[in-house]
Amino acid sequence: MAKAVTELEYLGMSGWQKFCYRFVTFFQRLPAVILNFFRVTIPGLGRRIWNAIKSVFRTIWNAAAHGDWKTRFSFVIFGFSQFANKQIMRGLLFFVFEFLFIIYMSLFGAGQLRYFSTLGEVERTKPGWGPNGEMIEGAVGDHSLLILLYGLLTILFILAFIYAWYASVKSAYAVQQYKEANQHLSTAKEDIKRLADAQYHKTLLTGPLIGLTIFTILPILFMIFIAFTNYDIDHLAPEYLFTWSGFNNFKALFDGSYGKGVEFGRVFGQLLLWTVIWAFFATFSNYIVGMIVALMINKKGIRLKKLWRTVLIMTIAVPQFVSLLLMSNMLGDEGVINKLLQTWGIIGSPIKFLSDKYLVKVTVIVVNMWIGIPYTMLMVSGILMNIPADLYESARIDGAGPVKMYFKITLPYVFHVTTPYLISTFVGNLNNFGVIYLLSGGGPTMSRARSGGAGESDLLITWLYKLITDKKTYGVASVISILMFLLTSILSLIVYNRSKAVKNEEDFM
Amino acid sequence: MRKRYISLIVCGALAASSLAGFAACGDGNKNGKPKPDAGTADDPIVLTVWASNDQQESVKQMCEAFKAANPDKVYDIKFGVVGESDAKSKMEENVQAGADVYGYAGDQTAALYGIGALSEVEPAVAEELRTRTGATYQLTLANGKCYSYPYAGDNGFFMYYDSSVVSAEEAKTLDGVIAACKKAGRKVHFDYTNSWYALGFAYGMGATYSYEWSGSKPTGFTTTLGDKGPDGVHSYLEYNGQMLKELAAEPTIQKGDDSVIGSSLNTRTVGAIITGTWNAGKVKAGFKAGWPSATYKDGYAATTLPKWKSSLDNKYYDWATMAGGKCYGVNSYSKNLAEAHKLAQFLSSDEMQLKRFQDNNIGPASATVAAMDEVQSNLAIATMLKQKEACSVTDGSKPQSYWDEAGSFATDMTGGTVTDLADRAAKMIKAMKDAVA
């Protein structure tokens, strides 16, 4: 336990001590932060949601209780009140939406929703041959995947419809109130004008919002829904039906009950641990070594600075996948490096850079440095040049040596500026598909039986790829991606919030 | 006063797009099989055929021959560039948009059947295929019925060797090959941790395996891998595991994929290679006279897999290859199913197998074509066909769990960490059985 220190004591610490102090206190405060999250943030959020719901129902109640016949009629026919009060365009838009919705539901939506609870009932009949060599035609069955997708779309559509109904009622009542107060009702022209002016944000956000819904929210919802189905290699649509399976996929991940001959729980645990270890080392090895390189190049008296920088940046100029594939070939058991070492008589048998389960982990971290260091070096070089020279000058006059100056001036300065970068790199490394996939392909295969083809150096993300492409266990894969999403988002949220607080409470200079 | 236009526009756009989506997909979702094309000039029979890039030209010519052989109907045959090894993943993406007729690797029959990418071959035709292709017919089985038309029977492994280093006599046993290569400072290439190669020793001793299928779902796994071997103590799989362990410890053995074969041929540091016909051109060029320098002699030779000696009982045993091939499949979602079957049958006929051999050096599945002098004069293909006859195990449909567990076993055996061989072997078999239970 780090005991609380006074402000004066804290200021008297060296850069490293400060860093360590903050590191320890961060974890000391973490329980309180999490507790605070559950005791204050969530109830607060709950209250706000409750208030919002209350206000919605109050609006509806007011409109029903105090509305005139036009407003009340708007409960059934969208936009009636607006229409009757000569807000033609607005009324028309509401009405057209209701009209479209009814057509959609009666033609398609209702049908899709009917099957949504089972995800289809009729299995396909395959074509075949009769006893006399005549062809028996097959029949198309239900397509569970499409039913799920369209069912989801219909649900979203219904939610939109409910919202539009609320908006229509609210707007109708507002029109009535304006009318009663003898205020001016905006015309269609004015409305449009406002969209280009006071309401311009809505005009701007429409496109992104549509895009976000279709390309991000819908797929994410779809994926979450799949996590609750038994969609896998034995239930591939359109040939077979799949259906809801509750929390079976979640259970499979934690108690290993999944009957596909794979111990998902064990593999998941092992790979999660390795993923975190990898992210930690991949992030900090690049960071620290990159900083050291930048410092060395930046040092006064070093000649040909630009040349050194250029040499390092050359590795950025080569596309990452090219250098990774090359490295993968060079480091193989029969690769160039092993061949050369054997020819020179330095080693007898090949070093298993990529095929030993421990060595491969070291290899991927080291090769990742090759790719990452130039970026850190570039970034840190820029920051180093920004540190005011008079700081060093006065430190020198006070008799500080280079090591002291590094820990008192350079490190705090750089660390402060790059904390957000470190966090995003860490989270990025948790999902660093490219390096692992191209370099080791996740190999070597886990030697224990029932590992389902997972490799020793697989990250969760590359394992996910294997689960989807080779094993087609979509349900379990969805669960894993949900868990990964939770892991990365919670981690980044906490650390981002904390780092900002740290930044505000202390001034490094 | 708040404006609600934007939300309305959003909803409207959503509605419109989903309406459009339904209009497009509505009939694909429910019953309503499209009517087959009539085959007249106005309504030609449209068929799509997938072939790999290097076979495009050849397959196009074959399809022209098919049109010429069926002058009473008008065909419109389209081509897609999808190789046999990619057919499965392409079909998995969207089987309803897949080709009507396509080539694929025979061991994927069950998987393709599972997604509906295969339809049953007419029983009478299947009977004819059985007699014509002999053992290869096995690989088209799923569900006890025939689902594909075999056209290539050359998938498997045997041994190429450099006859300037290894004599024909030495090539008869694995320790002979290793000793000869060691003497010449060469390596023996064998990708022993690859699950396709890894269990060849046990199968060579007579072990067998088979999967039972209910549709595309494997429901049972029967194997004699765990039965006691000739010494009455160790099982076949233990013999195999012991051999893998020793090979991994043998510095003369090198493992790796085809790129490793290529690089070791470039420097001719390899003396014998366990691989298949697809590398024939590469090996021939690597073992030619004067390569990589003038002192090297011509040495391109191939033979069936050598016998191997087990340290468990000091006896020699046969070594088996996985024997498989390639087939044409007919997509069960095809609109012109009957015509597609006709085309697939034509494309896999003896004539076309011979043409495929002439155009692309692809070994035939048909016994008649295989026996032709022309085919027998091709060393690699002839050796492969001989290997298949002599010692092989059918590379039938297997679920992914087979490959996963065989791979884990091989990794473990060669990693030098296994102390209880019998236990590890039993675990592999149990895991394979559990995976399909």
Report how far apart, in Å, the C-alpha atoms of A229 and of each of A224, A435, B61, B216 are.
10, 32, 47, 20
Quickly state the pLDDT bin for A327 (edges 50, 70, 90).
very high
Domain count, chain B: 2
Which residue reads 């191939």 in tokens?
B302
Question: In CATH, what number is assigned to the domain containing residue B314?
Answer: 3.40.190.10
Mean pLDDT for all residues in chain B: 87
Question: Which two tokens mark A414?
Answer: 């750089």
A493 inside 8 A of chain B by CB = no
Does the residue B63 lie in any domain?
yes
Residues B192 and B163 in one domain: yes
Report how far apart, in Å, the C-alpha atoms of B335 and of each of B126, B287, B331 are.
22, 50, 9
The predicted structure's pLDDT at residue A279: 95
CATH superfamily of the A264-505 domain? MetI-like (1.10.3720.10)
Interface A-B: count of C-beta contacts within 8 A: 217
Residues B372 and B329 in one domain: yes
Among B370, B389, B408, the domain boundary falls at B389
Q: Which domain holds residue B238?
A: 158-322+395-436
Quickly state the pLDDT bin for A305 (edges 50, 70, 90).
confident
Q: What residues of A are in contact with residue B422 (Cβ under 8 Å)?
A: none
The predicted structure's pLDDT at residue B259: 86
Residues B144 and B280 in one domain: no
Residue B331 · residue B133 · CB < 8 Å: no
Q: What residues of B are in contact with residue A162 (Cβ under 8 Å)?
A: none
> N- to C-terminal Cα distance for chain B?
65
**Hey, of B8, B147, B342, which one would you mutate to test binding to chain A, going by the most A CBs within 10 A of its CB?**
B8
**Amino acid identity, position A13:** M
Q: Which helix (H) or strand (E) holds B222?
A: strand B217-223
Does the residue B101 lie in any domain?
yes
The highest-confidence range among A35-44, A70-79, B96-105, by mean pLDDT, is: B96-105
Order of strands, sheet of B187-189, starting from the edge strand that comes earlier in the sequence: B253-254, B187-189, B270-275, B158-162, B300-303
Closest chain B residue by Cα to residue A208: B10
Residues B173 and B295 in one domain: yes
Which residue from B107, B426, B406 is spatially nearest to A445, judged by alpha carbons? B406
Which residue from B158, B151, B161, B160 is spatially nearest to B370, judged by alpha carbons? B151
* Residues sharing a CB contact under 8 Å with residue A37, sequence separation 6 or more, in sequence order: none
pLDDT > 90 in chain A, percent: 32
Quickly state the pLDDT bin for A11 (edges 50, 70, 90).
confident
**Amino acid identity, position A489:** S
The predicted structure's pLDDT at residue B15: 43
Q: Which residue has the higher pLDDT, A138 or A354?
A: A354
Residues B294 and B163 in one domain: yes
Does the residue B177 lie in any domain?
yes
Contact B256 A334 (CB under 8 A): yes
Quickly state the pLDDT bin for B23 (edges 50, 70, 90).
very low
| Average pLDDT rounded to a whole number, residues A427-446 | 90
| Average pLDDT rounded to a whole number, residues A386-404 | 89
Q: What are phi and psi of A56, to 5 degrees?
A: -60, -50
The shortest C-alpha distance from A265 to chain B (Å) reads 16
The predicted structure's pLDDT at residue B219: 84
Residue B326 · residue B352 · CB < 8 Å: no
* Residues sharing a CB contact under 8 Å with residue A179, sequence separation 6 or more, in sequence order: A85, A185
Lowest mean pLDDT among B58-62, B212-216, B341-345, B419-423: B212-216
A92 inside 8 A of chain B by CB = no
The predicted structure's pLDDT at residue B25: 42
Contact B1 A178 (CB under 8 A): yes
Does the residue B375 lie in any domain?
yes
Which of the 8 DSSP states describes residue B33? P
Q: How many whole angstroms separate alpha carbon A107 and alpha carbon A110?
A: 7
Residue B299 · residue B287 · CB < 8 Å: yes
pLDDT in tens, A99-108: 999 999 998 8
Q: What is the DSSP string of A62-127?
A: HHHHH--HHHHHHTTSTTHHHHHTT-HHHHHHHHHHHHHHHHHIIIIIHHHHHHHTTT--PPPBPP
Contact A138 B412 (CB under 8 A): no
Nearest to A206 among B6, B31, B432 (CB): B6
Q: What angle do CA A262, A265, A268 make, to 5 degrees?
A: 100
Contact B332 A127 (CB under 8 A): yes
Residues B135 and B238 in one domain: no
Q: How many whole angstroms separate alpha carbon A438 and alpha carbon A426?
A: 20
> N- to C-terminal Cα distance for chain A?
27
Report how far apart, in Å, the C-alpha atoms of B149 and of each of A144, B109, B190, B424 are.
31, 11, 31, 39
**Helix/strand/coil percentages in chain A, nearest 5:** 70, 0, 25
Which of the 8 DSSP states describes residue B96? G
**Hey, of A95, A104, A106, A126, which one would you mutate to test binding to chain B, going by the most B CBs within 10 A of its CB?**
A126
| Average pLDDT rounded to a whole number, residues A480-487 | 90
Contact B116 A357 (CB under 8 A): no
| Average pLDDT rounded to a whole number, residues A401-416 | 85
pLDDT in tens, B291-318: 888 999 999 999 999 999 999 999 999 9
Does the residue B18 lie in any domain?
no
Quickly state the pLDDT bin for B62 (edges 50, 70, 90).
very high
Q: How many whole angstroms separate alpha carbon B326 and alpha carbon B150?
A: 6
User: Which A residues 126-155 touch B at CB under 8 Å?
Assistant: 126-129, 133, 135, 137-140, 142-143, 146-147, 150, 153-154
Residue B11 · residue A165 · CB < 8 Å: no
Residues B265 and B207 in one domain: yes
Residues B223 and B359 in one domain: no
Flag whether pLDDT at B21 surpasses 50.
Answer: no
Question: Which two tokens mark A450?
Answer: 């029932």
Does the residue B40 lie in any domain?
no
Residues B332 and B399 in one domain: no
The shortest C-alpha distance from A221 to chain B (Å) reads 16
The predicted structure's pLDDT at residue A410: 86
Q: Which helix (H) or strand (E) holds B203?
A: helix B200-204
Domain boundaries, chain A: 7-60, 67-124+138-246, 264-505
pLDDT in tens, A106-132: 988 888 888 899 998 888 888 888 887
The predicted structure's pLDDT at residue A497: 73
Nearest to A129 among B25, B120, B217 (CB): B120
Report the DSSP beta bridge partners of residue A136. A128
pTM: 0.80
Does the residue B88 lie in any domain?
yes
The predicted structure's pLDDT at residue A481: 92
Does the residue B295 lie in any domain?
yes
* Residues sharing a CB contact under 8 Å with residue B318, sequence separation 6 or more, in sequence order: B204, B205, B305, B307, B390, B391
Flag whether pLDDT at A382 surpasses 50.
Answer: yes
pLDDT > 90 in chain B, percent: 62
A207 inside 8 A of chain B by CB = no
Q: What angle do CA B229, B230, B231 make, to 5 degrees?
A: 95
Flag whether pLDDT at B416 surpasses 50.
Answer: yes
Residues B286 and B375 in one domain: no
- Indicate the length of chain B as a whole number: 437
**Is A352 in a helix, a strand, or coil?**
coil
Asked whether the ipTM of the predicted complex exceeds the cut of 0.85, the reply is no
The predicted structure's pLDDT at residue B377: 93
Quickly state the pLDDT bin for B20 (edges 50, 70, 90).
very low
The shortest C-alpha distance from B413 to chain A (Å) reads 8
pLDDT > 70 in chain A, percent: 96
For strands B321-330 and B101-105, give the pairing: antiparallel
Contact A238 B1 (CB under 8 A): no
Quickly state the pLDDT bin for A197 (edges 50, 70, 90).
confident
Question: Which two tokens mark B236?
Answer: 């076949």
Contact B5 A445 (CB under 8 A): no
Residues B93 and B205 in one domain: no
pLDDT > 70 in chain B, percent: 89
Residues B182 and B151 in one domain: no
Contact B29 A143 (CB under 8 A): yes
Neighbours of A280 (CB within 10 A): 14
Q: What residues of A are in contact with residue B403 (Cβ under 8 Å)?
A: 453
The predicted structure's pLDDT at residue A87: 85
